[in-house]
Amino acid sequence: MKKILLVFGTRPEAIKMAPLVKKFKEESAFFDCKVCVTAQHREMLDQVLQWFEISPDYDLNIMRPGQDLYDITANVLSGMKDVLKDYQPDAVLVHGDTTTSFATALAAFYQQIPVGHIEAGLRTYNLDAPFPEELNRQLTGRMARWHFVPTSLNRDNLLSEGVKEQNIYLTGNTVIDALYWTTDKIKRQSLSGGNVDQNVITVLNDPSIQTVLVTAHRRESFGHGFVNICEALAKLAQTHKNLAIIYPVHPNPKVKEPVEKYLKDIPNIHLIEPLNYQDFVFVMEAADIVLTDSGGVQEEAPSLGKPVLVMRDVTERVEALEGGTVELVGTDVKKIVDRISHYLAPENNFISKVNPYGDGKAVQRIVETFKGYFNS
């Protein structure tokens, strides 16, 4: 029996790794699977663990008030040293582009434990956007033995960087597995919004009101970018009286302060607390348009048939751009207002396109890869 350690620390990682944890647990005849969380995000991480019914075997609990990238990197690296020595896994799996993933891969490399990189091969080739995620992802890839890529473009990126083709596995993105698992559970349990603010439920259920779901948190938008976002949302709210803007506000003061300063007194903008994952999926499925700077939402929302406007100047998810499932609007006030107004107009109904990020069977492909590898 081979020992597999899955490590993650943020809410987006947890969402995308949770279905993989569950699949490895189902294959207990082949694998002893343990989970380590770093708690780079604490409360938001715990909500996802609860929803997916996952109990970590190790918890580094690194989150501290005012922590910065130095703190996160150092604390994950030193914390993983003891976890790896205790469990001695045959493989360590990390996800994407977080500081948790990079520092964990480095810790595994120091102990010569092979690393599997889930959601590998995404690139902007701009180390400033997204920051620090682009560098995290590239460095993690340099240390990985297995590269599980969502799309053929991600595979091509790695091939161009000299990664051997036999070490690259095209799987689709595990976020689609998580999304389908969640929408199915919501329907099976007849959930109708959970802890979502009742005013938000009311507007979502009113067919005369159009709704835009907003998520924004990226470092590169801090300052002037967030002022622009707020200006655009205010203009939209004032121009479209039958519009409700639903904005779960990230707790970071660099996000929360400008948002509350410019938007809190506008009646058809609903500033609410961050949503847990299942409630976010519920709102996303009910909303008409999604305006976001999140990488994961760029992958999820197209599977729900939503137009997605991305408040970033570049995206490593190029397939969505090429396939027409997302549009880049940056933090340009005019672009945001014009494109949302376009989709609000009745004559411009959005035609859903095929999501390039997968069919909900990514975790099955990943687990089968490890079965084949260890059996051989």
Q: Which residues are catalytic?
A: 97, 119, 133, 217, 219, 250
CA 54 to chain centre: 18
Distant-in-sequence contacts of 338-343, Cβ < 8 A, 24+ apart = 339/309, 340/212, 340/236, 340/289, 340/291, 340/309, 341/236, 341/239, 341/240, 343/288, 343/289, 343/307
Amino acid letter at 186? I
SS3 267: coil
CA 236 to chain centre: 26
Ramachandran bin of 66, using left for φ above 0, alpha for ψ from -120 to 50, beta for the remaining angles: left
* Pair 271, 260: CB distance under 8 Å: yes
State in Å, rounded, how far the first CA of the chain is from the last one.
Answer: 13
Supply angle C-alpha 127, 128, 129, rounded to 5: 95
Given the structure tokens 């672009």, which residue do they identify? 335
Amino acid letter at 322? E
Given the structure tokens 């389908």, which residue do they identify? 180
DSSP state of 337: H
Element (H, E) at 210: strand 210-215
